[in-house]
Structure 1
């Protein structure tokens, strides 16, 4: 009797989604065995900046733990430290331009990522170090680096995958997990377009001294995700953990410092303002010029107040050059300041999505605004759902791909549009009367959700 040939799956992209999928397929090899290969266009694990903090939701945590084996899960505290009781509030607060609280949804304490994953009602999140999570997921994975996919060719037997270095590979199923600019998506669905919001998003990882973190906590409480709304279509966001990090050895103040992610969003048309009088030219390869550009906008768009002064102090902490000193900058970073255009992809914006041996996950299929923090969670959920669908693989039947895509399209399109809607709402300039309406609406919403949260807690109290 002829032994059944083990099918080959190729994953292009070693981000959170691609790596989660790899682990899940290997974890479930006793149910269905695959020859899994994973390729990445970067030349090494440290080739590129790997992102800021993210909020890992209870749904994302459920899928992550479904995907990874116990050996990887045991290292999750490196990337997802347990919440500090009575110190950290893993939730979000939204304030107006001078620091008045408009929205602070109720949060439910949880012990660790495992307890979070068991929460089935509502949506909670634990602040996670994205770069360290990727490091944890890379452990034991034989990624083939410096392999940029440029095209593929489908045949009746499978898929040929071609790389920029001239090499090619054959597989039964090809999965594009290669980001918003995915060559695989562009070939598979050329009509699926990226939507540009006309909004600029600048982000940096910073190291915040305790005295400055105390100022921030005085305004925002100990909420780890803090957003402030301006009146000119601008908004700021800081996300952190109140876990001290090691600093450079010659730190004169010798006080605790905290790793934080800082972002500033504003209408892209403000990038075109005349800055000749300031003799400053914004150059994305010169972090100092980007930081000065952000500080200039904050000074021009925000009122003189304690919150504005705090924002300027925080932005002044962003490294003015590209750091390469692992002691001075203890968290891995490629470029500490990233100025990007906000964009998304709605996977259901086209009439048809033909299922084949080539499918997509993560940003390649449904990039979304970072405003609600849904992107990484959806990518990991994709990996979980797709790995379960692949257990139904048979040589001559790929209906399981259609099953995965149907669920993925519905789930992620809703989150793309939700994120887009919120982004446009908070990025619309408002006059004095509009500010009153906006702030009043948020305060009413805050009262309602806190009331219903209180009632819900009474009814479903553990």
Structure 2
């Protein structure tokens, strides 16, 4: 087959990783030019809810800036608003079931996204808007929508990619950035299995009125990532920005509201336990029943205290039906509240890994527990590393893919296992003695981390 002089790269998946790779390849066209095509199974940019906040680390920020051109970077403030001085602390705090602080790692202060990217030591992160970041990355990208990849056929000259609508495309390199259920991964590495944790998590974006946010801040301070550990294997997590969102003028008292992501996790076996207070069967097609199920679990598993009361009030804010007027809804897309299984993929759990013209990035190859906030950061780092490797592309030599995969496998497998380990440790039901041991260990770790940070700042003071 006669190939074009300019090699073609097909990216399947227009998530953060796939879009970052697209921009990186276009940005570096003066060094190596490619004909880049990107396909997405969704029918439009707003077909599926893109919600949730994410924590973008200093390493993720560095890679993102490496990938995107200045025209895209100029729009980053839409998704990464500057830190509000003396109001927000971009870090995490962990408390016990009644709100006592167990772990509060120190954070390096930074004013904006660019200062975050300059932090070279340790791990710092910024809470950003995931949906808005995707919108920014979609700018000027000719995504071909409603194109679900079903299979590929690799030849000596390249790769034929087949889509559900009956069309097919030819490319020199195929990149699977199509998520945890990737058909490309399933074909390339059928033995690479998804690990089910036996943990259910329910997440929702909510709009919190100021009086409730003030109550939450009395417990957690102004830290933007807030986790509470229960004693029965359950935990809560909230991510927010303390930046008021626009509300309708007729809102009661015109009280400021704040956008927040709320997550409740618990052992999946509890989905099969009937409780007297739960009158109706939980139906994932009925958001109201899922929300009530979460509230029943909170009331059953948590002690009577201010924190428990606050959690119940926060979950009451979750939309129980599709909003009548989506335009007035504080988030662009509505996602029905559903229970989801926590899963991951360890890319180094198989013995052999053969490099070819088909390459993977992001959740397609190393989906991980969200507990440490490493998933999106690794996907963007993948895009950065792969784009640099592709600069070495030649028709007869694809050893650069093997170089990318070696680095990616080592980096992401470590993060998958680290995230899995922390998830299991914080999701194990404990008796009274176990709770005492857990709390004391976390408090000792907290002291050690703070001491190390203090010493590190003295030694490496700017």
TM-score under structure 1 length normalisation = 0.98
Query: Matched residues in 2 for 1:451 and 1:324: separation?
Result: 52
Cα distance, 1:458 vs. partner? 1.9
Query: Matched residues in 2 for 1:276 and 1:299: separation?
Result: 12
Query: Matched residues in 2 for 1:52 and 1:168: separation?
Result: 34
Is the CA contact (8 Å cut-off) linking 1:323 and 1:333 kept in structure 2? Answer: no
Is the CA contact (8 Å cut-off) linking 2:326 and 2:334 kept in structure 1? Answer: no
Determine the structure 2 residue equivalent to 1:32: 32
Determine the structure 2 residue equivalent to 1:104: 104
Where 1:170 maps in the other structure, the secondary structure is strand
Determine the structure 1 residue equivalent to 2:151: 151
Determine the structure 1 residue equivalent to 2:291: 291
Question: For residues 285-310 of structure 1, what are the alpha-carbon distances to aligned partners after superposition, in whole Å with 9 as ceiling and x for unaligned?
Answer: 11111100000000000000000000
Is the CA contact (8 Å cut-off) linking 2:152 and 2:162 kept in structure 1? Answer: yes
TM-score under structure 2 length normalisation = 0.98
Question: For residues 395-442 of structure 1, what are the alpha-carbon distances to aligned partners after superposition, in whole Å with 9 as ceiling and x for unaligned?
Answer: 000000000000000000000000000000000000000000000000
Is 1:413 aligned with 2:408? Answer: no
Where 2:333 maps in the other structure, the secondary structure is coil
Where 1:253 maps in the other structure, the secondary structure is helix
Cα distance, 1:250 vs. partner? 2.1
Cα distance, 1:352 vs. partner? 0.6
Is 1:395 aligned with 2:385? Answer: no
Cα distance, 1:44 vs. partner? 0.1
Query: Matched residues in 2 for 1:101 and 1:38: separation?
Result: 46
Query: Matched residues in 2 for 1:4 and 1:180: separation?
Result: 32
Is the CA contact (8 Å cut-off) linking 1:323 and 1:335 kept in structure 2? Answer: no
Determine the structure 1 residue equivalent to 2:134: 134
Cα distance, 1:324 vs. partner? 6.3
Query: Matched residues in 1 for 2:374 and 2:324: separation?
Result: 30
Is 1:59 aligned with 2:59? Answer: yes
Query: Matched residues in 1 for 2:397 and 2:349: separation?
Result: 27
**Residue pairs, 1:45-194, within 5 angstroms:** 45-194=45-194
Between stretches 327-336 and 354-363, larger displacement belongs to 327-336
Is the CA contact (8 Å cut-off) linking 2:277 and 2:296 kept in structure 1? Answer: no
Query: Matched residues in 1 for 2:120 and 2:336: separation?
Result: 36
Q: Which runs of 4+ in 1 moved over 6 A?
A: none
Where 2:253 maps in the other structure, the secondary structure is coil
Where 1:337 maps in the other structure, the secondary structure is coil
Cα distance, 1:151 vs. partner? 0.1
Is 1:246 aligned with 2:272? Answer: no
Cα distance, 1:332 vs. partner? 2.1
Cα distance, 1:277 vs. partner? 5.8
Determine the structure 2 residue equivalent to 1:381: 381
Question: For residues 57-115 of structure 1, what are the alpha-carbon distances to aligned partners after superposition, in whole Å with 9 as ceiling and x for unaligned?
Answer: 00000000000000000000000101111110000000000000000000111011111
Is the CA contact (8 Å cut-off) linking 2:362 and 2:382 kept in structure 1? Answer: yes
Aligned length in residues = 461
Cα distance, 1:378 vs. partner? 0.1
Cα distance, 1:152 vs. partner? 0.2
Determine the structure 2 residue equivalent to 1:431: 431
Between stretches 317-326 and 26-35, larger displacement belongs to 317-326
Determine the structure 1 residue equivalent to 2:344: 344
Query: Matched residues in 2 for 1:332 and 1:324: separation?
Result: 13
Determine the structure 2 residue equivalent to 1:422: 422
Change (3 A) 1:3 1:431: closer
Is 1:448 aligned with 2:448? Answer: yes
Where 1:207 maps in the other structure, the secondary structure is strand
Is the CA contact (8 Å cut-off) linking 1:318 and 1:336 kept in structure 2? Answer: no
Is the CA contact (8 Å cut-off) linking 1:105 and 1:449 kept in structure 2? Answer: yes
Query: Matched residues in 2 for 1:11 and 1:98: separation?
Result: 47
**Residue pairs, 1:325-336, within 5 angstroms:** 325-336=325-336
Determine the structure 1 residue equivalent to 2:280: 280
Query: Matched residues in 1 for 2:172 and 2:410: separation?
Result: 26
Where 1:38 maps in the other structure, the secondary structure is strand
Is 1:199 aligned with 2:199? Answer: yes
Cα distance, 1:4 vs. partner? 7.3
Where 1:378 maps in the other structure, the secondary structure is helix
Query: Matched residues in 2 for 1:420 and 1:149: separation?
Result: 29
Is the CA contact (8 Å cut-off) linking 1:225 and 1:238 kept in structure 2? Answer: yes
Is 1:317 aligned with 2:284? Answer: no
Question: For residues 250-280 of structure 1, what are the alpha-carbon distances to aligned partners after superposition, in whole Å with 9 as ceiling and x for unaligned?
Answer: 2112110000000000000000111476321
Where 2:25 maps in the other structure, the secondary structure is helix
Where 1:5 maps in the other structure, the secondary structure is coil
Query: Matched residues in 2 for 1:372 and 1:322: separation?
Result: 31
